């Protein structure tokens, strides 16, 4: 009798547990778990949805290695990521300026964060107008300060990448600034007091107190920025359509074109997997590097 009772109790627990999980787990299987497996299998096929699917083994990956476009777009994607350190420096500087007890600080913080909540498409449109080579605000300004032949920005293969990087920095700093600000406010004031009693200069206390105390937030920002950097697509799509001459086409843009413009589902899936593996690898390396500083990480 007792045995039966515990058994039914266990059964009851299982039923309750999975009843709560149910809705989420079903959706999770349909929209994440099975698609991941399907995508992996697709990577070894050639398929345009209409004609029968064809298994091609490793062909997609072999083609990928020889695909000059792929390497160029990978280079572009990595090039765009050069904006990450600039973004981090600017947002840390902004956070340190805001981390003062001054009147009107909240107004500045509100303004700095405005681009973050703004729709990316609208922001891209606005900047496309600012970058207009003849009548845009930026070139008018550059002309005014005496630069006779300002860059052609979005229609130049050299300047298109920096132009989009400026947009991503303008839109992204507010977010990182808030993360830095929260971390700065979490640093115990006594540490600074102790440093100033020891006669530390501003730079000393930044190097020995502030910077080490920011290592977790730095780690977080680097990881999330790299992950979203690998996924860059929207700004490129709206502002330049990947051009001129492919100079702003990213990996994800290439996946989008392959899958939804040219209906090469197999090839697109294989690129998506290579992208995933690169993202995973970078995260793993970062994680290992961070583990060396465990005492800070697990604090």
234 contacts 120 by C-beta, under 8 angstroms: yes
Question: Nearest distance from residue 102's CB to other proteins, in Å?
Answer: 7
Please give the DSSP secondary-structure letter assigned to residue 100: S
**CA of residue 292 relative to chain centroid, distance:** 24
Q: 146 — alpha (psi -120 to 50), left (phi > 0) or beta?
A: left
Question: Within the chain, what is the greatest distance between any pair of CA atoms?
Answer: 94
| Tokens (6 digits) for 152 | 């052609």
Between CA 177 and CA 92 the distance in angstroms is 6
Between CA 288 and CA 91 the distance in angstroms is 25
Closer residue to other proteins, CB minimum distance, 20 or 71:
20
Closer residue to other proteins, CB minimum distance, 58 or 111:
111
With b meaning 16 or more CB within 10 Å and e meaning fewer, what string describes 74-84?
bebbebbbebb
Closer residue to other proteins, CB minimum distance, 159 or 233:
233
Angle between helices 83-98 and 105-117 (to 10 degrees): 150
Q: Which residue has the tokens 């990087």?
A: 165
Question: Nearest distance from residue 35's CB to other proteins, in Å?
Answer: 4
Q: Which residues pair with 54 in a beta bridge?
A: 46
> What sign has the CA pseudo-torsion 165, 111, 106, 103?
positive
Between CA 262 and CA 81 the distance in angstroms is 27
Question: Nearest distance from residue 276's CB to other proteins, in Å?
Answer: 5
Q: 57 — alpha (psi -120 to 50), left (phi > 0) or beta?
A: left
Question: Nearest distance from residue 299's CB to other proteins, in Å?
Answer: 13
Question: Nearest distance from residue 286's CB to other proteins, in Å?
Answer: 12
Question: Nearest distance from residue 208's CB to other proteins, in Å?
Answer: 21
Question: Nearest distance from residue 242's CB to other proteins, in Å?
Answer: 14
């Amino acid at each position: 009798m007792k045995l039966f009772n515990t058994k039914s109790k266990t059964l009851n627990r299982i039923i309750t547990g999975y009843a709560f999980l149910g809705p989420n787990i079903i959706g999770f299987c349909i929209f994440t778990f099975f698609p991941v497996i399907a995508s992996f299998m697709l990577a070894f096929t050639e398929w345009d949805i209409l004609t029968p699917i064809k298994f091609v083994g490793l062909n997609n990956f072999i083609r990928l290695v020889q695909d000059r476009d792929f390497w160029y777009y990978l280079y572009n994607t990595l090039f765009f990521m050069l904006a990450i350190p600039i973004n981090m420096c600017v947002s840390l500087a902004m956070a340190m300026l805001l981390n003062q007890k001054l009147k009107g600080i909240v107004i500045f913080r509100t303004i700095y964060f405005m681009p973050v909540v703004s729709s990316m498409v609208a922001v891209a449109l606005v900047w496309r107008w600012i970058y207009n080579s003849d009548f845009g605000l930026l070139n008018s300004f550059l002309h005014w300060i005496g630069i006779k032949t300002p860059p052609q920005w979005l229609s130049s293969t050299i300047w298109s990448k920096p132009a989009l990087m400026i947009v991503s920095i303008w839109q992204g700093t507010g977010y990182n600034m808030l993360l830095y600000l929260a971390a700065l406010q979490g640093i115990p004031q006594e540490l600074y007091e102790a440093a100033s009693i020891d006669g530390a200069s501003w730079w000393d206390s930044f190097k020995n107190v502030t910077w080490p105390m920011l290592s977790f937030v730095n780690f977080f920002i680097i990881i999330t920025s790299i992950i979203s950097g690998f996924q860059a697509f929207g700004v490129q799509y709206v502002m330049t359509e990947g051009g001129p001459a492919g100079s702003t086409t990213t990996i994800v843009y290439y996946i989008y074109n392959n899958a939804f413009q040219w209906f090469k589902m197999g090839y697109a899936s294989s690129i998506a997997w290579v992208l995933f593996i690169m993202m995973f690898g970078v995260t793993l390396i970062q994680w290992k590097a961070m583990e060396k500083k465990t005492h800070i990480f697990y604090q």
